[in-house]
Structure 1
């Protein structure tokens, strides 16, 4: 793996030199856009809207439109906006990871200490595991300030970027009634159904089946064959009564 960021992870007066590595990778199939007439690849070009000519990548700059004109920015400008954050992941507080709404999660990065047998790194891992806490921090990656949580995965510190509060839309515009009456027996059976399906979280049991099936179709199609598609058989409840539907679900063996 290649490091995508190098700096330090700090908490209190402790500073740990670290490198960041992407912890995720795409599992989707890579499709090319083609011209249907001759299957030639379609290339996307950076075109100057005035001259209609292609612009070399090294001639492209970033600009912010202000008062009908553009202010051109360079890398130094972005770093000057927060020089200390460009090289430091500073933990500002420690929180219960259970308090972080999953809606805020974005993507994760592994951290690696810049030196072997780094005692401060090992200490932070063990302290977070024992306290069941996560560090809340801010840092700058690719000219963008990110909010993140620092949490342990086994013996590795992971930095997971999370969204800022203003990035989450309000629910005020949703048409959801807040006064729907639920009877005690309906709630009791609903809770029993949840408990019946409850298990320890093990994401390794789940595979990207869609892409596997898609790849099978591609391989068969390359041989001039057509895949046999399984027809969906949606389960239907015998009635519209919520309690009866819950009871039928409860009495149906999981995985059947």
Structure 2
């Protein structure tokens, strides 16, 4: 893996030099855009709006429009805006992970210690394990400041980027009926939840759509007509909610 950010974790007077790695990768197939006529690859160019000519990367700058004119910013300008934040993951406080709702989670990253920060890294990891707490703070990456939490996962520390509170939309426009469920319906729903409950194991789940799409691609490459997989759609025999719940409980328990 290739690190995408280098800096340090800072909490109190402790400073831990670290590298940041992306913890995820897409499971979808990498499809190219092609010209329908001859299947040539489609390329996108960075074009000057006025001249229509292509602009090389080294000639592209970033700017902010202020009072109908652009103010150009350099990499140094971004660092000068808050130099202490550009290279430090500042832990502001330690909290219980259960206090942070899942809607705030954005992107996970792996943290690896530099040689000089090995002991402090292990100390923080083990202290978080023992206390059951996570570090909450902020950092800047790619000229964007974000909130984050740091938590132990087995032998390593993981950083999760966290959304700002103002990024979460209000729920006021979401319409939900205010009718209360009937006691019998609630009892059946709780029984169904209990029947489908079990230890969580992410390995049981797989992006099967990509697998099936790849099988279709391979079949077309061999000149065979791909067959659509049989989809079994279970429809309720009754529109009555209680009847649907009873029928669900009578079925087999979900695999796994």
Structure 1 position 116, deviation (Å): 6.8
Using the size of structure 1 for normalisation, the TM-score is: 0.95
Structure 1 position 233, deviation (Å): 2.4
Name the CA distance, whole Å, in 2 between partners of 1:126 and 1:214.
43
Match of 2:145 in 1: 145
Name the CA distance, whole Å, in 2 between partners of 1:210 and 1:47.
36
Match of 1:89 in 2: 89
Name the CA distance, whole Å, in 2 between partners of 1:19 and 1:207.
29
Greater alpha carbon shift after TM alignment, 99-108 vs 31-40: 99-108
Where do residues 131-170 of structure 1 align in structure 2 (5 Å cutoff)?
131-170=131-170
Q: Deviations over 1:144-182 (max 9, x none)?
A: 1011110111010001111111111111112222x2121
The runs of 5 or more residues in structure 2 that have no matched partner are none
Match of 2:187 in 1: 188
Paired residues, what number? 255
Match of 1:112 in 2: 112
The runs of 5 or more residues in structure 1 that have no matched partner are none
CA RMSD of aligned residues (A): 1.4
Name the CA distance, whole Å, in 2 between partners of 1:64 and 1:173.
33
Using the size of structure 2 for normalisation, the TM-score is: 0.95
Q: Aligned to 1:118, what secondary structure does the other structure show?
A: helix
Structure 1 residue runs of 4+, over 6 Å off? Answer: none
Name the CA distance, whole Å, in 2 between partners of 1:117 and 1:166.
35
Q: Aligned to 2:115, what secondary structure does the other structure show?
A: coil
Match of 1:198 in 2: 197
Structure 1 position 237, deviation (Å): 1.6
Structure 1 position 232, deviation (Å): 2.2
Distance 1:103 1:9, change over 3 A: same
Name the CA distance, whole Å, in 2 between partners of 1:138 and 1:13.
16
Structure 1 position 117, deviation (Å): 7.9
- The answer (yes or no) to whether the contact 2:20–2:112 under 8 Å persists in 1 is yes
Name the CA distance, whole Å, in 1 between partners of 2:65 and 2:122.
47
